[in-house]
Amino acid sequence: MDALHAAELLYRHNIWRRGDDTYDMANPKELGIALDMAVVALRETDTLRARIAELEAINDDLTRKVKLFDSTVTCAQSRIAIAEKRVSELQAEIKELKNSSY
């Protein structure tokens, strides 16, 4: 029995159980199989939801770390630009001093 068939059987059986004679009572063996499948699916769903929550927490942590890293890189790039500018200024000063001392 596939999941779609199990779901339909459970749906129809529940309608019958509530007094609607549109459907006949489900075969007890098939009903048992459908119920077993439903229980397995619900347990798997809970397991998957728990795993999703774990992965979302990991994703949130990694997102925070990436933002921190990006901000660190931006700060480092800014410091490098300042240092490069200062190096250029000092090189110009050195050149000027060499030219004036000759």
Would you say the pTM of this structure is higher than 0.75? no
DSSP type of residue 23: S
d(CA 100, CA 97): 5
DSSP type of residue 19: T
Contact between residue 34 and residue 1 where contact means Cβ atoms under 8 Å apart? yes
**What string of DSSP letters covers 56-100?**
HHHHHHHHHHHHHHHHHHHHHHHHHHHHHHHHHHHHHHHHHHHHH
Domain residue ranges in the chain: 3-101
Rounded to 5 degrees, what angle do the CA atoms 44, 45, 49 make? Answer: 115
Q: What is the pLDDT along the chain (102 residues), one digit of tens a residue?
A: 999 999 999 999 999 999 998 989 999 999 999 999 999 999 999 999 999 999 999 999 999 999 999 999 999 999 999 999 999 999 999 999 998 866
